[in-house]
Amino acid sequence: MFEDIKSSVNWASVEPVTKGWSDDKKYLVTTKAGERLLLRISDASQYDLKAKEYAIITKYASTGIKMSGPIEFGTCDGGKSVYILLTWLEGEDLEDVLPRLSEGEQYLLGRQAGEILRKIHSIPLDEADLPKNTKKEKKLFQLSHYEESNVRISGDETAIKYVRDNIDEIWKVPAVYQHGDFHPGNLIYSGDSTIGVIDFNRWEVGDPYEEFYKLESFGTELSVPYCIGQIDAYFQGGIPEGFWKANAVYVAHASLFSIKWAEKFGQEDIDGMVRRARAAFADFDGFNSYVPKWYTDEYSKEYDA
C-alpha cells in the first residue's frame, strides 16, 4: 500500500491508529531517523476532497498555530488510495489531561484553545469556498428527523421550540474557515504546558459561533474553567450577546439531534447523548436562558486576562 509514497523508503515502521471517528485509515509512521509522522489513507474516489483538505491544512499551518502540519499529499496503492502525510503532534490528549490539573491551569489552557480558534477563524476566506446556503434548513431538517424518531426524550418540547423560534440567530456574522470538530479530544497537551490542534478532516466554511456548542457537549463534563477560558480568549473580553443567542440554538439542536445520530452506534452511545442533553437543559434553564449557568467572568478577573 505504501510503496508509491516516495518518502516511505525512509520509514522504519508503520502502526495503525484506531482512535477517532474518521473514515480515514490512520497510521503512526516512525522514520529511520526516529521522527514520528501521521499518515491518513482514503479511497481514491475521495481524491478531490482530500486535495482540498490538504490545501486547507496548509492554510491553517500558515497562521503559525501549533498543529499536526502538512508534509505531502498524493496517491498510493497503485492509484487505489490517496494519502495525506502530516507531522505528529507529541503529547497527551487534552481530554485525558484536564481532570488532573488545577482550575487555574484548566482555565489558561482554555485560553490557549480560544486563541488557536481565533487564529483559524482569522484566515482570509476565498470567495469560491463560501457556501451558497446557510445551515438553517439543514438544522431544522435534522430536528424534524429527531422529532420523528423513537429516541425522543421527555421534556424536549422546550428545546425544539427554542430552535424553531430562534433559528435566525445563527449565521448572522461573516462566515469563516472552521476546524469543524474543535474540542479537547482534538487538542494535544505537550510537556511544556502548551496545546496544539489535530484532525482537520471535518473542516468547513460557516458560522464561527458553531464551533462552540461542543463545549457543552464534550467540554463542561471535563472542565468548566477550560470552557470559560476558550470563550474569554476568543472574544478577548467582549462577548457579544449575539454569540450567546446563536450558541444556545446550536446547543439545543445538538443536544437533541446527537441522540438520533448516536442511534447507529448502540444504546451506550445513545445513553451518553441523553445524559449530555439533560445537562444542557439544566445549564440553559430549559432554554429559558441563552447564557449557560456555568459561565462566569470570575476567572478572567482572577487571572487578569
Region 92-302: CATH code: 3.90.1200.10
pLDDT reading at 22 higher than 80? no
Mean pLDDT of the chain, nearest integer: 95
| pLDDT value, residue 81 | 96
Say what percent of the chain tops pLDDT 70: 99
Residue 305 has pLDDT above 80, yes or no: no
Which residues 6+ apart lie within 8 Å of 101 measured at CB? 109, 223
Q: In what order do the strands lie in the sheet with 25-31?
A: 11-17, 25-31, 36-43, 81-87, 70-76
Of the given ranges (111-115, 170-174, 299-303), which has the lowest mean pLDDT?
A: 299-303
Cell of 120: 483559524
Indicate the pLDDT class of residue 1, thresholds 50, 70 and 90: confident
How far is the C-alpha of 258 from the C-alpha of 139, rounded, in Å? 12
Fold: same for 6-87 and 92-302:
no
**pLDDT for res 21:** 66
For residue 275, pLDDT over 90 is answered with yes
pLDDT of the residue at 302? 87
> Would you state the cell numbers that stand for residue 102, as one nine-digit string?
488545577
- Answer yes or no: are the C-beta atoms of 210 and 278 closer than 8 Å: no
User: What pLDDT, on the 0 to 100 scale, is given for residue 303?
Assistant: 84
Q: Where are the beta strands (DSSP E) in the chain?
A: 11-17, 25-31, 36-43, 70-76, 81-87, 92-93, 176-178, 187-189, 195-197, 204-206
Query: Is pLDDT of 232 > 60?
Result: yes
* 181 band by pLDDT with thresholds 50, 70 and 90: very high
Instruction: Express each pLDDT in 50-109 by its tens digit.
Output: 999 999 999 999 999 999 999 999 999 999 999 999 999 999 999 999 999 999 999 999
* Whole-number pLDDT of residue 20: 67
Distance CA 169, CA 150 (A): 29
Q: What is the pLDDT of residue 56?
A: 97
Return the pLDDT at 35: 97
Residues 37, 86 contacting (CB under 8 angstroms) = yes
In this prediction, residues 211-236 reach a mean pLDDT of 96
Sign of CA dihedral 291, 119, 192, 92: positive
> How much is the pTM?
0.94
Question: Whose grid coordinates read 482530500?
Answer: 50
Of 3.30.200.20, 3.40.50.300, 3.40.1160.10, 3.20.20.190, which CATH number belongs to 6-87? 3.30.200.20
Please report the pLDDT score of residue 272 as a whole number: 95
pLDDT of the residue at 220: 96
Is residue 119 within 8 A of residue 41, CB to CB? The reply is: no
Interatomic CA distance for residues 39 and 47, integer angstroms = 15
Residue 304 pLDDT more than 70? no
CA nearest to 205, candidates 226, 164, 174 = 174
CA proximity to 69, closest of 196, 159, 173, 207: 196
Sequence ranges of the domains in the chain: 6-87, 92-302
Q: Distance between alpha carbon 267 and the CA centroid of its chain, in Å?
A: 24
